[in-house]
Structure 1
Amino acid sequence: MQKIVLNTTYYMISQLSIVAGFREKKSYLVDAFFTRPFRVANVGQYKTDDDLYLMVMSSSPGLLDNDQYAISIKLEAGARLQLQSQAYQRLYRMQTGAIQNMKIMLEPGCAFSYVPHPVVPHQNSKFEGHTTIYLQEGCELLLSEIITCGRKHSGEAFLFTSFQNLTEVYYKQKLILKDNVLLQPRQVPPGTIGQWEGYTHQGTLVYLNTGEQPVQVYLEKVQQIVAAEKGVFFGLSQAAINGFVLRILGHGGEQLFNCFKRVQGAIWQNNLLPEAPVPAKSKAPLLVQQV
């Protein structure tokens, strides 16, 4: 590991690099490099398909003050990688803060899916994340994030200092989607209008497809999956390009995580397609359902 200086503060960089390849109609791990606390495990031994399934593991209980994670993921042409997390990501009490930078690069014809466990920001934690994704022709991207209010059963609901995660997606070097989540409970109470309004967990799932498969055929089925959940409020909207964004408010991290896993499983196995094609004129509007 190495040290860098950011704003006169020393940060310890933990690195993770994954390269996935495709050969003879099968995805495989080309290279994996990591420093403490990261580890990478192959969890696809019992899968019946030829995709690559990896789990990112950590020997650390969570992100500590002055931690910086640098993550790089590259998929060579044709590769399909489903990345998994090991457990909830905890953000511990901090004075300076922790940083995570993730860079994902997909060459033509790739598919990448990542539905990590929820993030639990402890009291006085500070986190800043930046995810940059580069897509080429014929790619599929599914990426999600779940943020909790903290350890609410320990009386730490919304007692973290700040949480920010910026996601930017580029297609052929052009910005096509930008999502900036910024939470500062001490400055903007989460219970106010336009914020979480009484809910304690927020989930966001992004799906983009730069191939020929129109995502309109997915929207109704995704809505059905989420509408089956009790006690949630959600919005499902079609992106400006071929894709959609799903945002959910709820009261349980495990519930939102399992819901996202069901959406991921259906899309990954390509079984969300309806029996009849959606008419060309029916561009999906914003769909909101409360149950």
Structure 2
Amino acid sequence: MTTAPTPYPIGTPGTPWGDAERVEWLSRQARQRSYEAEVLTVVERLSARFDVEEYGQLTYGADHYPLMALRSRDWREDLPVVLITGGVHGYETSGVHGALQFLDGRAAEYAGRVNLLVAPCVSPWAYERIHRWNADAVDPNRSFRADGQAEESSALMRLVAPIRDRALLHIDLHETTDTDESEFRPALAARDGKSFEPGYIPDGFYVVADTENPQPGFQQAIIEAVEPVTHIAPADEKGEIFGSPVVARGVIQYPLTQWGLCASVTNAPFKTTTEVYPDSPEVTPEQCNAAQVAAVCAAIDYALAQG
């Protein structure tokens, strides 16, 4: 695995960043891909089959991004709601394209059975820069709370509020990458004036359940569905993945609400966060997208079977 650079090139070790450090960090973030070309064009094409809405606008300097969601065209008040989110961390590519691929190729199977609400790219500024944070050096996936500092997160919370108590399922599509260890965790430590403690990146797919409502059968159904597509991350020598105990094969737990994570935005009985590993030499981008689709389908199938 990649070794993190030390010390981080911005700031003074042990001292939290101020405005000058944040400005320097922002100056280093260059656009590397196009949200309009890679995401909005797909959303436009899908608008022939789904209702599309703009649920917010992001503005960072001269950059403006419409935040887009897609809904089932045959939305019915008597059907359960399935929420799918991707791109909360913009650099986690298969979360975005897996959500869009599900809509394009598999969503029709659930017509008349569930209402789908899909926000495929929650953080478009970060998507373009292949980054974890937004332009304010804030992690949207720690900001799903009333006092959250990320507009990306606040906008999604406003979108979801009407279905918060109606949702059957929320699946939040993520990736764990080698750059978590080489860039993003060192940057976090530097930003907060803390010491960086090197770790390791789990080699394979895993899911994150809610500590308060873990639903072990649901989580395992996803693991079993994804395994034919990509390998499952093993526990380390401590029996952990990313410092959290492995409670079942490929499953760890986080306190979703306490940490302000995206998967806490509804009161759905079934919640999970997927974590695809795209840096494995054993997988391709197509397999990563397919793993996300397999996870979504397995999650919906399991949740429907329980109802």
**Same-fold call, TM > 0.5?**
no
In terms of fraction of residues, the more strand-rich structure is: 1
Q: Which has the higher helix share?
A: 2
TM (normalized to structure 1)? 0.39
